[in-house]
Structures are given as C-alpha cells and as structure tokens.
C-alpha cells in the first residue's frame, strides 16, 4: 500500500468517499471521450461511404490494438487493455454501421 493510500481507521471512511468520487470523475471523462470517439467513427463511416470502402478495416484495427497495448503503462496489463479496446472497436463499428443505415434510409 503506498503512503497516500495508507489511511488510519478513522480516516478510512473519508478516504473511501474521496476515492470513489475521484473514480466517478474519471468515469465521467471516459464516457465523454468514448462518445467523442463514436462521433469520429460516424464521420469516418461517412467518408468510407463516399469512398465506397467497407466499414471493417482489419489492418486499422490491428494498428489501434497495437497502439493501445504499447501505451498502457499499468496497472492494467496489455492483454486487458487490448480486450477493452476490442469491445470499444466493436461498438464503434456498430455505431458506424447504424449511422450508415439511417443515412441510407433517409436518402433513399
């Protein structure tokens, strides 16, 4: 346990609240960033539509996964970060496809 986490019995409840509030703030930022990422995926889908290229790009996905594994400095290991981003990529692809379907339905 590091010195910042070492709380006395009487400080522990206050420290628990402080840390949970800090996690809530991080979660809020994560949600905002994930939604921004999804908006970018939708824009990318629009460009792919113009270029008539498929939504799924395995080479790009490999590149993203390689990047996030390298960027992870812990305590999450590279495998864990990879699994999280595999899910994020799946959901980004789903959002991209859904936006494309909606766009096609409204224009045709």
Asked, for residue 4, whether it belongs to a domain, the answer is no
CATH of the domain at 84: 1.20.59.10
Q: Is residue 60 part of a domain?
A: yes
Q: Residue 5 — very low, low, confident or very high, per pLDDT cuts 50/70/90?
A: low
The whole-number average pLDDT for the span 15-25 is 97
Q: What is the DSSP letter of 77?
A: -
Residue 2 has pLDDT above 60, yes or no: no
Give the model's pLDDT for residue 107.
77
CB 69 within 8 A of CB 82: yes
Reported as a pLDDT band with limits 50, 70 and 90, residue 4 is low
Q: What is the pTM of this model?
A: 0.81
Let me know if residue 91 belongs to a domain. yes
Contact, 89 vs 41, CB < 8 A?
no
Place of tokens 């994020």: 88
In a domain, 74, yes or no: yes
Q: Which domain holds residue 61?
A: 12-107
Packing angle between helix 12-51 and helix 78-107, nearest 10 degrees? 50
Q: Is 63 a member of any domain?
A: yes
Residues 6+ apart with CB under 8 A from 25: none
Domains held by the chain: number: 1
**Domain contains 2:** no
User: Mind listing the pLDDT tens digit for each residue in 31-61?
Assistant: 999 999 999 999 998 999 899 998 889 999 9
For residue 42, is it within any domain? yes
- Judge whether 6 lies within some domain: no
Question: In Å, how far are 56, 98, 101 from 94, measured between CA atoms?
Answer: 10, 6, 11
Residue pLDDT, tens place only, 59-85 = 999 999 999 999 999 999 999 999 999
Q: Which of 89, 105, 107 is nearest to 40 (CA)?
A: 89
């Amino acid at each position: 346990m590091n010195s910042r986490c070492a709380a006395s019995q009487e400080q522990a409840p206050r420290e628990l609240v402080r840390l949970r509030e800090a996690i809530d703030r991080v979660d809020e930022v994560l949600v905002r960033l994930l939604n921004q990422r999804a908006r970018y995926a939708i824009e990318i889908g629009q460009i792919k539509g113009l270029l008539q290229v498929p939504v799924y790009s395995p080479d790009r996905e490999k590149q993203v996964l390689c990047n996030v594994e390298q960027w992870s400095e812990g305590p999450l290991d590279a495998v864990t970060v990879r699994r999280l981003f595999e899910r994020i990529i799946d959901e980004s692809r789903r959002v991209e496809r859904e936006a494309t379907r909606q766009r096609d339905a409204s224009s045709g």
